[in-house]
Chain A
Amino acid sequence: MNTLTVPGLLAVQVVGALALTPILIGVMRQTRARLEGRAGGGVTQPWRDVRKLLAKEPLQAAGTGPMLSATPLLLITSSLVVCALVPLVGTASLATVPDDLFVVVSVLLLGTVALALLGLESGTAFGGMGSSRHMTIAALVEPTVLVAVYALSIPVGTSALSAIVAARVQDPASVVSPVGLLAVVALGIAVLAETGRLPVDNPSTHLELTMVHEAMVLESSGRDLAWLEVGSWLRLTALLGLLVNLAIPWGVATTLSLSAVLLGVAAIVVKLLVAGMLVAAGEVFLAKLRLFRVPELLAGSFVLAFLAVTASFLIGGAP
């Protein structure tokens, strides 16, 4: 059989994402380690960590509620759904579950809110602090993501992500147009903020007062922590994958033939690994922003996205 069905393509995306994610995180950590002059734990260390955690029993403090065990499942489920919907390998989509921008953002938000509630669940100060910071950043990032992808969707006429990527594959001029560049830059900043990378949040910090994401998972352990970690990594994979496919759309499978899908898989693997290495390399040179400077950064990215929208009206002529 030379063509896949659409559910088959989505399954390929999900399985591929699950397999690739620990490698991606490992590559990022290794890049950072090498640039900082350390030996690093190796590319497979995240996978080893997850395996270790999966074998352990989760401990729950007294007085905690059901969210402590429900959140990890919610998070990983939402992340897997996002991986299925976002056009990572191919641009086909199910008719019943559209990969519309708003659907994807809503699912992401589900995971965000679940994580925030988790941080509040244990009743510690650090958890609450992490949750409030997390929600502040999320509140500022959501409009940027929406407006940036909307700017890219104007010439296409639909907000379905796969349609946007497919249109960009066919029209190389739109990739280098000012609208495209502005929107991609804005989306990049938003993705860095949403996935908890520098300069918004340091993923490898040990200082609780500087934590955003880590503070929320401070009280989780064992299997729960494994799901939480994998869920967060999957979000990074999905969002980074969306970003690179919007920025450099070539290689994405526009048809469902086997060869196209294999090419698509290979392309996304390469693109994600390179993008991950660039992000990690950039992190070596960036310092974490003070928390009250973060809204400035995010407002700036929002304005860039907004300018992308207005530019597409001003310069291209209203569609």
Chain B
Amino acid sequence: MSDALFSQLLATTTGLLLVTAVVQVWRYSLSASIRVLAVQGAALGALVAVLGIERGDAEVLVVAVLVLAMKAVAIPWALSRTATATGAVREQAPLVNPTAALLAATALTVLAYVAGLPIVAVLEGPAASAVPVGLALVLIGFLVLLTRRSALAQLIGFVVLDNGIATTAFLTSGGVPFVVELGVTLDVLLVVLILRVLTSRLQSAHGGIDLDELTELRD
């Protein structure tokens, strides 16, 4: 693959990752967020595939397929199933209004760029210069996690966070060893499934109480 094409594809996929993260902050309807999450997963899979083709490493391509299957298909599917099961598809206004959250996302992107400077300085290559995108995704995922009311939306923030970490991992070193990557991806899927199980138990045992309405535990 030529250098220019590699840079172009890298730019497109990382740009798409960043845009989808910002749209997550912008749109707070659950069904829209899950769709955007699927697009983000697809962009991540594409990024890994591009890196694999550039390196000529078959293992990375296998990881790309795994990432695609998990993050673009399995996790959004599990999330939408949970959403329909709890009837939680209506919009819930977030704790911070979207305008302020969007401006905060902007500030976080700048912060990620600044924080990523030492990393970019150490590693060389076009892939490393896009590492701040991964860090920005982590910070924006945190923002979504902290400013949403419903458990499902917080979980979406967590998945964005994880996507950011995965992006950083792949851009800095071509990925961590395969076993670890497998473990990490499965872990995210399991967290989503845990929410599914917990909410379904809550529904069946206690008649339709929403996880978000529970605030009994405090000191």
Listed in ascending order, the chain A residues whose CB lies under 8 Å from chain B are 173, 177-179, 181-182, 295-296, 299-300, 302-304, 306-307, 310-311, 313-317
Contact = CB atoms under 8 A, between A and B. Distances in A.
Interface residues of B, number: 27
Contact of A178 (B11, B22, B98): B11
Nearest to A312: B11
A178 B97 CA distance: 27
Contacts of A299: 98-99, 102-103
B92 interface: no
27 contacts: A179-B15, A296-B97, A296-B98, A299-B98, A299-B102, A299-B103, A300-B22, A300-B23, A300-B26, A300-B102, A303-B106, A306-B106, A307-B15, A307-B18, A307-B22, A307-B106, A307-B109, A310-B109, A310-B110, A310-B113, A311-B15, A314-B14, A314-B113, A314-B129, A314-B133, A315-B10, A315-B14
A173 B5 CA distance: 10
A303 B103 contact: yes
Given A178-B14, A179-B15, A304-B19, 6 more contacts: A296-B98, A299-B99, A307-B22, A310-B113, A315-B10, A315-B133
B132 interface: yes
B88 to A, nearest CB: 21
Residue from the set B19, B103, B130 with the largest chain A CB neighbour count within 10 Å: B19
Contacts of A307: 15, 18-19, 22, 106, 109
B35 to A, nearest CB: 16
A303 B22 contact: yes
B34 interface: no
A302 B26 CA distance: 12
Interface of B: 7-8, 10-12, 14-16, 18-19, 22-23, 26, 97-99, 102-103, 105-106, 109-110, 113, 129-130, 132-133
A179 B109 CA distance: 15
B113 A173 contact: no
Nearest to A317: B129
A307 B23 CA distance: 12
A296 B99 contact: yes
Contacts of A295: 99
Given A296-B99, A303-B103, A307-B109, A182 B19 contact: yes
Contacts of A313: 113
A303 B16 CA distance: 14
Contacts of B97: 296
Contacts of B103: 299, 303
A315 B15 contact: yes
Contacts of B106: 302-303, 306-307
Given A307-B22, A315-B129, A182 B109 contact: no
A177 B109 contact: no
Contacts of B23: 300
Pairs A-B, 8 closest by C-beta atoms: A178-B15, A299-B99, A315-B11, A299-B102, A296-B98, A300-B26, A303-B102, A295-B99
Nearest to B132: A314
A68 B15 CA distance: 48
B14 to A, nearest CB: 6
A307 B99 CA distance: 15
A303 B133 contact: no
